[in-house]
Amino acid sequence: MHNVIPLVQDDDIDWQRYMQESEPRIKVKSVDSWTQAIIDVFKNGEQEAQGAKLPWPATHDGLRFRPGEVTLWLGINGHGKSQLLNQACLGFAAQGEPVCIGSFEMPPLKNVPRMLRQLATTSQPSEGYIRKMMSWLRGKVWIYDHLGAIRPEQLFAVIRYCHQELSLKHFVIDSMMKCVHGEDDMNGQKAFVDQLCRLARECEMHIHLVHHSRKKESERDIPGKFDAKGSGAIIDQVDQLVTVWRNKPKEAAIKKCRDEGSPVPDDIKKKCDAMLICDKNRHGDWEDHAFLWFDPASLQYMSDSRRQPIDFMRNI
């Protein structure tokens, strides 16, 4: 499997070529550089939603992922941020927007099979279908093969490489705790996110940053923008904030019924399995939530309780 998925590996590349920041050289432009973009504004209107979409229709009108921006994916540890973001990346790939995933807490041979289950819509894809999926993923999804802590300068070089050499549109950093040491390093966190925002503009990529929130007193309480661990400047600097919340109270209620041998009430069954909440949307109107339902076999999140998995490969 690891010989088929495209990998970006530290030992293969001279990273010094990509350490140098290029933004200062490209920020001063002739006004006519924006000619086509301005024509599109007059033709289509400023309010037309632009950018890559998430797989869930409720978010399509107002939550998009545009070049040059940074989205913070927030949630309590164990609430499914990485799994949900993997599914979002498959959606970006299906829209023709290739992505690189830097999962510093999980090796590729654990993370990639989870993504393949989401793509196959089943827990046990055949060998032939695995090869078909790998062929579909080639050029669309890349993996930065690095586990554990990483120096910010090295990560910035990787992002520039993905932009300059691979022409990728999205980069996932999972998670910030592997890039900045110490939850109390407020200045380090602020500087790191500030540089990410500059880098997103420089490379015209969308950068997705996964970050942990503080655990709430009750699992019924959903974390908000003020619950991110560390510096408040993190929220101030990013363009969008998306929170993932897993409905653990529902899971506990179902488990209790099963342990007691009693049927699960319909009002519990109908509750969502997770929620996606947008608490900050600098360039869009949608600051709302979407209810999601989870299918354990495919590891996919769906927009309704029928739990019909999405076929991302349907157009091939």
Residue 5 or 282, more confident: 282
Average pLDDT, the chain: 90
What is the pLDDT at residue 3? Answer: 47
Predicted model pTM: 0.89
Is 310 part of a structural domain of the chain? no
Tens-place pLDDT, residues 97-111: 999 999 999 999 999
Is 21 part of a structural domain of the chain? no
Task: Give residue 236's domain range.
Answer: 7-12+51-302
Is 56 part of a structural domain of the chain? yes
CATH number at residue 97: 3.40.50.300
Tens-place pLDDT, residues 178-189: 999 877 789 999
Element (H, E) at 196: helix 186-203
Is 74 part of a structural domain of the chain? yes
Burial class from Cβ neighbours inside 10 Å (0-12, 13-18, 19+) for residue 51 reads middle
Is 148 part of a structural domain of the chain? yes
Q: Which amino acid type is present at position 275?
A: M
What is the pLDDT at residue 98? Answer: 98
Is 26 part of a structural domain of the chain? no
Residues 102, 108 contacting (CB under 8 angstroms):
no
What does the pLDDT average to over 188-192?
94
Alpha helical stretches, state H, 54-185 = 81-94, 108-120, 127-137, 152-164
User: Domain count of the chain?
Assistant: 1
**Spatial distance between the Cα atoms of 166 and 13, rounded to a whole number of angstroms:** 13
Is 17 part of a structural domain of the chain? no
Is 55 part of a structural domain of the chain? yes
Q: What is the largest CA-CA distance in the chain?
A: 72
Tens-place pLDDT, residues 110-160: 999 999 999 999 999 999 999 999 999 999 999 999 999 999 999 999 999
